[in-house]
Structure 1
Amino acid sequence: MKDFIIVGFGLAGLSFAEILDRNQKSYVVFENNSELSSRVAGGLYNPVILKRFTPAWMASEQLALALSVYKNVEKQLNESFITELPVLRRFNTVEEQNLWFTACDKPILNEFLSSDLVKNENVALDIPFQFGQVKHTGRIEVKKMLCSYLSYIETRQLLFKESFEHTALDVQEDYVSYKGIRAKNIIFCEGYGLRNNPFFNYLPLQGNKGEYIIIKSKDLQLQEAVKSSIFIIPLGGDLYKVGATYNRDDKTSVVTELAKEELRMKLDRFLNVDYEIVDQVAGIRPTTKDRRPFVGTHREHLNLHIINGLGSRGILIGPYAAKGLYDYITKSTPLHTEIDIKRFD
């Protein structure tokens, strides 16, 4: 009898597995790599919504917890995934620059926004005004971290690389059984795959397709992540991730020429040097209408649970959602009402 079965292994699944390992709980993972939103994420952890200069929901709590979890993963796997990386916001107008100073004076934001503007000294960038800098930011190598953790699980013979067949799940009052595996609980972390889950597909998940391009430029020489209408994120080796697009209509993971041209057009507005597009990636973000994740327990089957709908801020919110669900299951600690799926009952 296992303590948990985890279905899906993006940032939600990894965050929950890390808690189980830390608390010496037994589990197995089912992952078939069909939903890749975590693997194509930009990888930045940034506590501020830079379009409007507002804090992300529960930014302080989530940032501290997320970094603690990812540092523990680094230690556990003896690898490095976290890099501190400044995030600079390009101002398009004097009015935007003034709004930045207004935001800096707000108590909820002054720990994250620097009131000392940064002068652009990179001739590769067309920056008519100065930059605003966000504090406490960095980059997680998400794809590398997920792959390394899956390898770690596989060496312990806890990984099943196959699609999960929901119809084969036998749900009893005090355990679940799936193809000979019994567990006290099962956690569904399937991302956009939730649409095929008969136990939780009543939840109003919205798919949002995002695409990035990877460019190579020897002349850019950028050491910070720059946010304008898009992000430029340095990857090392003269490579940069540029994105992302947002498409609510296309629900495929196929890269498109339309997205490539949109990103190229936005990049050309403020990049003064030549570059080459060397790759393009796409994925469906599991998003929700109220921008809060789906976390909780099935209304009838009390050993079926879910973490989903992390959206574009899964790096920060994933560990918070996983801890909330674990404490709810093991300690009966109430979930935050804004993430509890009971809001849809």
Structure 2
Amino acid sequence: MEVDYIIVGCGLAGISFAEILKANNKSFVVFDDNSQQSSIVAGGLYNPVTLKRFTPVWKSQEQLDLALPVYQTIEKDLGIQLDYKIAVKRRFTSTEEQNEWFARSDRPGLKPFINTTLSENNNPKIKADFKLGEVLQTGRIDTKLLIEKYRQALSNKKLIITEQFKYDKLIINANGVDYKNISAKHMVFAEGFGVKNNPFFNHLPLQGSKGQLLTIHAPDLKLDYVLKSSVFIIPLGNDLYRIGATYEQNDKNNSITQEAKQTLLDKLKTFTDFNFEVVNHVAGVRPTVKDRKPLVGQHHTHKNLHILNGMGSRGVMIAPYIANQLFNCIENNTPLDIEIDCSRFNYLF
């Protein structure tokens, strides 16, 4: 079997790269063993503003302009809805936070995304005495459904192999790679935190941050926007809401913990007052990097091996952008954004 690309990983990064390959009539096959959960359990928000400090997300407009058409194409191809337009509102806890919101609203990169008319809190189940600030151009991608249906579509076309990739079976030659009975011109590793086991790229400083999220059933809440306070509340429909997320630096597995559950519930109860039932609890390790920028590019020695990784907690927005960057770098020799080029860490050798 001969293809242009082998992709390892079928999360947001791998899917984004597969989409750009399809759009450019490049052949590919995907390996995925379901070992990485961060894309599946993600909240799925696309939000161009960092709501802790009221700062713009890196290249947020460029990311949105590339990402949303990609999800629209997948929706059309698979006959499903993935993109739910929904407002994101930040709960203010003081007049000082309100003033900071206004002060930053005219800054470059923020003006298109910040509504300077504060929202009144009309929900009796939410405590928000200092009103709410609304972020514009926001929404939620159903990442679980996306990955499930995309894998199914690849399986129907015999384009996905659901087994663990064995690095020691990879043969690298001048014109590409051979793996078992597959020959490819290029190989892209989009493994998320699983890259820690990859001998070609495990020198890169991918730290990982475990995130745990709850799903609650709350018939009395009636919230029709995403609320950000000490935790996010994300409406899912049918009186279900996702609550998240934790950021754990030391625990690097996909196991849920009672401690994290209690932490999320304690934070939720500080600004809400309603009855609910916890109906699900999930965990995954985000692929985070110490400088908070993705890891994209070519292996320092093997020029047909590439990495697409390090998206942190913003994979929905950034995955199509960095996939486009990598494809253009490989096929058109277009230089990568210097901030994301993995060669910035070559000094670690």
Would you call these one fold, judging by a TM-score over 0.5? yes
- What corresponds to 1:82 in structure 2? 83
Q: Distance in 2 between matches of 1:336 and 1:136?
A: 24
Q: Which residue of 2 aligns with 1:217?
A: 218
Give the superposition deviation at 1:108. 2.1
Distance 2:322 2:271 in 1: 37
The range that moved more, 65-74 or 130-139, is: 65-74
In the alignment, structure 1 residue 4 sits paired with structure 2 residue 5: yes
CA deviation map 1:292-319 (0-9, x unaligned): 0100011111110010111001111111
Q: After superposition, what is the alpha-carbon deviation per residue over 1:261-282, rounded to whole angstroms, capped at 9, x for unaligned?
A: 1000000011111111111000
How is 1:173-192 mapped onto 2 (pairs within 5 angstroms)? Answer: 173-192=174-193
Aligned partner of residue 312 in structure 1, secondary structure? coil
Counterpart-to-counterpart distance in 1, 2:109 and 2:326: 26
1:276 counterpart = 2:277? yes
1:50-61 equivalences under 5 Å are 50-61=51-62
Q: How many residues align?
A: 345
1:100 equivalent to 2:105? Answer: no
- The separation in 1 between residues aligned to 2:120 and 2:129, in whole angstroms, is 10
SS at match of 2:185: strand
Question: What TM-score results when the alignment is normalised by the length of structure 1?
Answer: 0.99
**Displacement, 1:55?**
0.2
Corresponding residue number in structure 2 for 1:29: 30
| Shift in Å, 1:80 | 1.1
Match of 1:68 in 2: 69
Deviation at 1:36, TM superposition (A): 0.7
Give the match for residue 262 of structure 1.
Answer: 263
Corresponding residue SS for 1:270 = coil
Counterpart residue number, 2:286:
285
- What is the CA–CA distance in structure 1 between the aligned matches of 2:184 and 2:107, rounded to whole Å? 48
Report the 3-state secondary structure (helix = DSSP H, G, I; strand = E; otherwise coil) of the residue aligned with 1:114.
coil
Per-residue deviation at 1:78?
2.0
1:234 corresponding residue in structure 2? 235
Question: What is the one-letter code of the residue matched to 2:50?
Answer: I
Please state whether the residue corresponding to 2:144 is helix, strand or coil: helix
Task: Measure, in 2, the Cα distance between the counterparts of 1:41 and 1:301.
Answer: 32
Unpaired stretches in structure 2, ≥5 consecutive residues: none
**Aligned twin of 1:153:** 154
Matches of 2:269 and 2:78, distance apart in 1 = 40
The AA in structure 2 aligned to 1:106 is R
Question: Take 1:325 and 1:302, find their aligned partners in 2: how far apart are those partners?
Answer: 13
Distance in structure 1 (CA, Å) of the matches to 2:245 and 2:161:
32
TM, length-normalised to structure 2: 0.98
What amino acid is the match of 2:344? R
Displacement of 1:204 in angstroms is 0.8
SS of 1:195's partner is helix
CA shift for structure 1 position 68: 1.4
Any idea what SS the aligned residue of 2:196 has?
A: helix
- Partner Cα separation in structure 2 for residue 77 and residue 279 of structure 1: 26
Q: For residue 202 of structure 2, what is the aligned residue in structure 1?
A: 201
Residue aligned with 2:112, SS: coil
CA distance in 1, matches of 2:20, 2:155: 17
- String of CA shifts for 1:84-106, please: whole Å, max 9, x gaps: 00001000111001100111122
Taking every aligned residue pair, what percent have the same amino acid on both sides? 50
Query: Which portions of structure 1, spanning 4 or more consecutive aligned residues, are displaced by more than 6 angstroms?
Result: none
Whole-angstrom distance in 2 between the partners of 1:235 and 1:99: 30
Q: CA RMSD, aligned part only?
A: 0.7
Instruction: Describe the SS at the equivalent of 1:343.
Output: helix
Structure 1 counterpart of 2:48: 47
